[in-house]
């Protein structure tokens, strides 16, 4: 039986990848952070909590990563753990470097020292392209990161290539464009919209406050994107791949479509609020995954409209079930109103 170690198994992609690898017959190990309150709701939601083995580790602590590699003795490591919210990286820029950037080096070093035969996947990102004007974006295009998060990811991308070239480690960068799902964190704009709409439709809330509505993103469906990670590690040679749908849509289009599904007019409920604007934003991202299609045989099936439908319908159903008294693992009831989060207000008022 093949074994895989997933860092960040409690996150959106970690949970879907764990489900995917279990179906492939892998023994699945995952690192999680020791928090004062457990955070396993996604694994429970997918009903795989009891099927994976968990190892406590933190990206700032090399010894815990070495231990995780030794304990799981994996054939493949999927390095998904990171502080993944771009907005927060402006508030904690040093942490972005220490966790999202240097965490990659710590993981690669653990592999180099314990077993350099392990295959390594790095969760690189379309944010690395940032303000690039190459459209649609391909593997060979220039990177122009526009946030501490993107700069840290670009560092991780290069470390991955350096360990591939220098130590012959089978290390790949998956340059994934935005991918969403009902397991997406509530801070990210798509889930913020689908969750906000569900609450408005059921009369729990009246309005939804958003930032830059004009930015465009290439949004795909997370369960399909995790398959591309696995495919990259099954090839004869390690390489880097763009994974995207090839379509770009604005936040406004997402909101418009999402409110339409709930039979509401977005203009009656959406307010713009400067606290959700970033000091620097990436205005346009659209990827070209022709290389992945040709070499990996990977192609997205779920496109924009279907994705919006999946997310809005699931959040509407969840809130309806909750209102009827049903209890199940789920993040939304405990999420604070973003009005309570002061640090972001302070940061953005200065910008």
Give yes or no for residue 122 binding ligand NAP (CB under 6 A). no
Angle, in degrees to the nearest 10, between helices 304-323 and 251-261: 50
Residue 44: name the closest of 271, 327, 280, 315 by CA.
327
- Minimum distance of ligand NAP from residue 86's CB (angstroms): 9
* Cβ atoms of 95 and 83 closer than 8 Å: yes
The answer to whether residue 178 forms part of the interface with ligand NAP (CB under 6 A) is: yes
**Out of 176, 248, 296, 308, which residue is the one contacting ligand NAP (CB under 6 A)?**
176
Active-site residue (options: 76, 127, 180, 224): 127
Residue 63 binding result from ligand NAP, ligand G4F, none, given CB thresholds of 5 to 8 Å by partner type = none
How many CA atoms lie less than 13 Å away from 180 in the CB half-sphere? 29
Interface map 302-341 toward ligand NAP (x if CB under 6 A): ----------------------------------------
According to DSSP H, which parts of the chain are helical? 12-23, 41-45, 62-72, 86-91, 93-95, 102-114, 148-167, 189-201, 222-232, 251-261, 290-296, 304-323, 342-350
Q: Which one is catalytic: 7, 125, 160, 245?
A: 125
256 scored as a contact of ligand G4F (CB under 6 A):
no
Minimum Å gap between C-beta 292 and ligand G4F is: 16
Output 252 or 295, the one with its CB closest to ligand G4F: 252
**62 in contact with ligand NAP (CB under 6 A):** no
Please state whether the peptide bond connecting residue 136 to the residue before it is cis, i.e. omega within 30 degrees of 0.
yes
List, in order, residues 6 or more apart from 115 with CB less than 8 Å away. 69, 73
Report helix, strand or coil for 123.
strand
Min dist. Cβ of residue 263 to ligand G4F (A)? 23
Active site residue 127: yes
- Which of 49, 211, 261, 313: binder of ligand G4F (CB under 6 A)? 211
Annotation marks residue 149 as catalytic? yes
Question: From the CB of residue 131, how many other CB atoms can be counted at a distance below 10 Å?
Answer: 15
Interface with ligand G4F by CB under 6 A: which range of 40-48, 122-130, 196-204, 316-324?
122-130
Return phi, psi of residue 240, to 5°.
-115, 140
* Sites for ligand NAP among residues 184-223 (CB under 6 A): 185
Within 182-201, which residues bind ligand G4F (CB under 6 A)? 187-189, 192
> How far is 323 from 65, CA to CA, in rounded Å?
42
In the 8-state DSSP scheme, what is residue 276? Answer: G
Catalytic residues: 125, 127, 149
Q: Which residues bind ligand NAP (CB under 6 A)?
A: 8, 10-14, 33, 35, 39, 58-60, 80-84, 99, 123, 125, 176, 178-179, 185
């Amino acid at each position: 039986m093949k074994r895989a170690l997933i860092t960040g198994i409690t996150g959106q992609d970690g949970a879907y990848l764990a489900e995917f690898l279990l179906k492939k017959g892998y023994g699945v190990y995952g690192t999680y952070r020791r928090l004062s309150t457990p955070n396993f709701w996604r694994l429970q939601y997918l009903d795989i909590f009891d099927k994976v083995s968990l190892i406590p580790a933190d990206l700032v602590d090399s010894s815990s990563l070495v231990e995780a590699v030794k304990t799981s003795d994996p054939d493949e490591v999927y390095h998904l753990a990171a502080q993944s919210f771009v907005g927060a990286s402006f508030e904690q820029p040093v942490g972005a470097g220490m966790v999202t950037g240097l965490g990659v080096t710590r993981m690669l070093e653990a592999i180099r020292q314990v077993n350099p035969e392990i295959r390594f996947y790095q969760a690189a990102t379309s944010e690395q392209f940032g303000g690039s004007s190459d459209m649609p974006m391909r593997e060979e295009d220039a990177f122009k990161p526009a946030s501490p998060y993107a700069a840290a990811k670009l560092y991780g991308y290069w470390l991955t290539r350096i360990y591939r070239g220098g130590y012959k480690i089978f290390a790949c960068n998956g340059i994934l464009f935005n991918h969403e799902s009902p397991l997406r964190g509530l801070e990210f704009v798509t889930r913020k919209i689908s969750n906000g709409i569900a609450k408005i439709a059921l009369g729990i809330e009246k309005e939804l406050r958003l930032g830059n509505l004009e930015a465009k993103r290439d949004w795909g469906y997370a369960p399909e994107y995790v398959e591309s990670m696995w495919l990259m590690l099954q090839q004869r040679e390690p390489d880097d791949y763009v994974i995207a749908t090839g379509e770009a849509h604005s936040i406004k289009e997402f909101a418009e479509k999402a409110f339409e599904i709930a039979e509401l007019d977005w203009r009656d409920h959406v307010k713009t609020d400067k606290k959700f604007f970033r000091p620097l934003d990436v205005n346009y991202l659209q990827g070209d995954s022709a290389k992945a299609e040709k070499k990996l045989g990977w192609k997205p099936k779920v496109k924009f409209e279907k994705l919006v439908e999946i997310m809005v319908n699931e959040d509407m159903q969840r809130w309806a079930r909750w209102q009827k008294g049903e209890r199940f693992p789920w993040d939304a009831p405990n999420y604070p109103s973003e009005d309570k989060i002061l640090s972001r207000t302070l940061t953005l008022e200065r910008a």
